[in-house]
Structure 1
Amino acid sequence: MDNKREQNPSPVPKKTIPPYMKAVSGSLGGVVEACCLQPIDVIKTRLQLDTTGTYRGIIHCGGTVARTEGVRALWKGLTPFATHLTLKYTLRMGSNAVFQSAFKDSKTGKISNQGRLMAGFGAGVLEALAIVTPFEVVKIRLQQQRGLSPELLKYKGPIHCARMIIREEGLFGLWAGAAPTVMRNGTNQAAMFTAKNAFDVLLWKKHEGDGKVLQPWQSMISGFLAGTAGPVCTGPFDVVKTRLMAQSRGGGELKYKGMVHAIRTIYAEEGLLALWKGLLPRLMRIPPGQAIMWAVADQVTGFYERRYLRNAPL
């Protein structure tokens, strides 16, 4: 009977990584990513906010910031950025695992590509509303300030910045640019989770729960490839998000009234390509960021698989 049971296992797999482990793996990956890639994020933000041609490109922008404001300026906004990434990846990885469980076929325990897309989109929308928007508003307000002398800066730090925004613009000032952020993150995560799984299977024959742990370089390749398509597709949403978050409601009439109005205004004043401003630094940041995050996350979940799932009874 035992042999027969081993030869005819239940079609529903019992060996799955719990959502809380996915959340932990994402949080650790977020910390490492933030520390490595913050300068590129600062450059991206400065390029997207540059309407007068002050910066001639990525290298010129980075060099100008370092020369005129000091090298430390390239890590402006690191505290909210690192906190934001840690919380974002915790919520993203955990909620995606929960959504995937909900979309799995009840008979086979498998999830379709459509289910992966829906789970990823749901995770992206949730993180955009709960974490990404308020943290990025604070980060962008800090990054757009020029200079290092505290007495000359309007915002003295992330907490002071958040308080000032709430006092001058109301609580919802922290959710400026929420609509394009939802569209950007939802689309990005739908594509990213689906692509990451596809590349793991295609390149390394890795299936979740099979006990196989990818080498860090393998995870980095899959993560890098999975993180490439999103920035190209969602560039306009990211530019509009940055412009909406950067403008202060305490300074009189707003230039951009909303997502659609911002797209039309940028197109009319600066041309079509302006909607993809900062694309190259995004491509320099997001795919490498995903590579770093997945290298860490896969090692954490891989440890769990080796320790608790590989020899777990079916």
Structure 2
Amino acid sequence: MFRFLRGALLPEAACQEANNNSSRYENLFKKLDLNEDGRVDIAELHVGLKALGIPLGRDAEEKIFKTGDSNKDGQLDFEEFMQYLKDHEKKMKLAFKSLDKNNDGKIEASEIVESLKLLGINISEQQAEKILQSIDADGTMSVDWNEWRDHFLFNPATDIEEIIRYWKHSTVLDIGDSLTIPDEFTEEEKKSGQWWRQLLSGGVAGAVSRTGTAPLDRLKVMMQVHSSKSNKMNISNGLKQMVKEGGVRSLWRGNGVNVIKIAPETAVKFWAYEQYKKLFANEDGKIGTVERFVSGSLAGATAQTSIYPMEVLKTRLAVGKTGQYSGMFDCARKILKREGLTAFYKGYVPNILGIIPYAGIDLAVYEALKTAWLDHYASDSANPGVFVLLGCGTVSSTCGQLASYPLALIRTRMQAQALLEGAPQLNMVGLFQRIIANEGILGLYRGIGPNFMKVLPAVSISYVVYEKMKQNLGIA
């Protein structure tokens, strides 16, 4: 992407780097100072970089300005521009050295593989060569400091983990089923407080996303509990029944609990993930992909255990009739009085069992899609971009849901059994056998239509809100 820096714009840089830095910066500054007033504003930066073939996007451009604009006047003069590039090059030098494992002054495919493996990302040497090709300007299949510096000159990333962070699965995707592997944060993010800002952004995005898709979520629960061969509830008549029974507001019944549980679940999952990683880490403090998956699954199970009573409340409120419960606390009080404490953990076993296929398939499909993209499309850049990552995340989450859905249906039926008059109180195995006998295999997928319908809007809403929250919290 940045090969022009070694050609038309920066022909002297490779030969006389030490002496020509100022003229190199000045030459580049002139290319961006479109109105030649000695200052570059963000509009000029956007247009200038686009004209030079470096479309970074608003987030990256704003991050450059926030870092470089020392007097906060909304413009970069030449001194600020030069100081930003000098400071940025120092950070890029440290990143380069962290990849250059044998200290020979160049990065090779094997070193890319080793570095990514330490961050929990496994790729082949052929895939690493694809990454090198996007940076390698002279065709040697190795990257020296000049090539590295020129390629990442305007990339606002500050270290190697940030440079490759686009390969990590993000908390931005919230489809209402928080069973995914938690995100990780670097030591720098933990010290700066950026970790809680990202978690807060993800939490708010999840709350807005779940609220926006709540009618489909409640419809899914209603179809899981009430739909059968004799009662063929579909999407259209299901929505009509809910509106007829309780009005338009009833479409959001149970959503309050679904939103409230985001905060404690996220907090417990993040804390537990860090503890499990320490438990499985080797003597050097490093952790492999398998250990990372096990840690994430256990963290998910720990979080689900801590908030599971709220899952029961959500289901009971969703399938309850108008006036049956005045709210979350009234629902909890009535369940405790009539059924005892154990009622708050009905369906717990299938819920916990569902984490393993969901998280495993979600992670496996996500990695497979990223690998396929890297193999077939990573010719000019190793960065897949926002839409590719959102696509990978949406497909992988959908596949994870498809695999774990029967367990989710069993869980919901067990949670709601006490509300169904005359229905036997079956355990997981008994309920599974009864559904297969009466409804066949398709009976295990009741409600999957609205469940899939909510994925795309949920992902879209959560992404937009997540980006806006990041901007407002200063982490765009």
Q: TM-score band (shorter)?
A: 0.7 to 0.9
Q: Residues of 1 paired with 2:368 and 2:466: CA distance?
A: 17
Aligned length: 291
**Alpha-carbon deviation of 1:197?**
6.0
Matched, 1:37 2:207: no
Match of 2:345 in 1: 175
Aligned residue for 2:261, secondary structure, equals helix
Aligned to 1:247: 417
Letter in 2 for 1:77: G
SS where residue 184 of structure 1 aligns?
Answer: helix
Q: Is the CA contact (8 Å cut-off) linking 2:269 and 2:299 kept in structure 1? A: yes
Output the CA distance in 2 between the equivalents of 1:64 and 1:252. Answer: 19
What's the TM-score once normalised by structure 2's chain length? Answer: 0.52
Tell whether the 8 Å contact from 1:219 to 1:298 is kept in structure 2 after alignment: no
Q: 1:304 to 1:223 in 2, by over 3 A?
A: farther
Contact 1:26 1:86 in 2 (8 A): no
**Matched ranges for 1:47-196 at <5 A:** 47-51=223-227, 53-92=230-269, 95-96=272-273, 99=276, 103=280, 109=286, 111-112=288-289, 114-131=290-307, 133-147=308-322, 153-193=323-363, 195-196=365-366
Residues 1:8 and 2:183 aligned together: no
Query: Residue 220 of structure 1 aligns with which residue?
Result: 390
Partner amino acid, structure 2, of 1:162? A
TM-superposed deviation, 1:274: 0.7
Rounded Cα–Cα distance in structure 2 between residues aligned with 1:306 and 1:197: 26
Q: Percentage identity across aligned positions?
A: 22
After alignment, is 156-165 or 68-77 more displaced?
A: 68-77
Show CA shifts across 1:2-49 (max 9, x none).
999775337678852446455334322321221111111110011111
Partner SS for 2:240: helix
Of 45-54 and 3-12, deviating more is: 3-12
Which residues of structure 2 form unaligned runs of 5+? 1-89, 102-114, 120-158, 162-185, 376-382
Distance 2:385 2:466 in 1: 11
Q: Quickly say closer, same or farther: Cα 1:201–1:170, change in 2 above 3 A.
A: same
Q: Runs of 5+ in structure 1 lacking a partner?
A: 148-152, 206-211, 308-314
Q: Distance in 1 between matches of 2:273 and 2:372?
A: 21
Indicate whether 1:283 and 2:372 are aligned.
Answer: no
Change (3 A) 1:6 1:141: closer
CA distance in 2, matches of 1:218, 1:186: 25
The answer to whether the 8 A contact 2:216-2:453 is kept is: yes
Note the C-alpha offset of 1:281.
Answer: 1.8
- Would you say the 8 A contact 2:197–2:475 is kept in 1? no
Which digits, 9 at most, give the CA deviation of each residue in 1:69-107, with x for residues without a partner? Answer: 311111111211111234334444554465456656665
C-alpha distance in 1 between matches for 2:325 and 2:396:
36
Query: What do you get for the CA RMSD once the two structures are aligned?
Result: 3.9
Q: Deviations over 1:260-287 (max 9, x none)?
A: 1211122122222111111222222356
C-alpha change, 1:286 and 1:103, in structure 2 (3 Å) is farther
**1:72 partner amino acid:** R
Q: Which amino acid aligns with 2:332?
A: A
Q: Distance in 2 between matches of 1:240 and 1:276?
A: 10
More deviation in 10-19 or 258-267?
10-19
2:440 counterpart residue number = 271
Q: Distance in 1 between matches of 2:355 and 2:242?
A: 28
Distance 1:227 1:245 in 2: 24
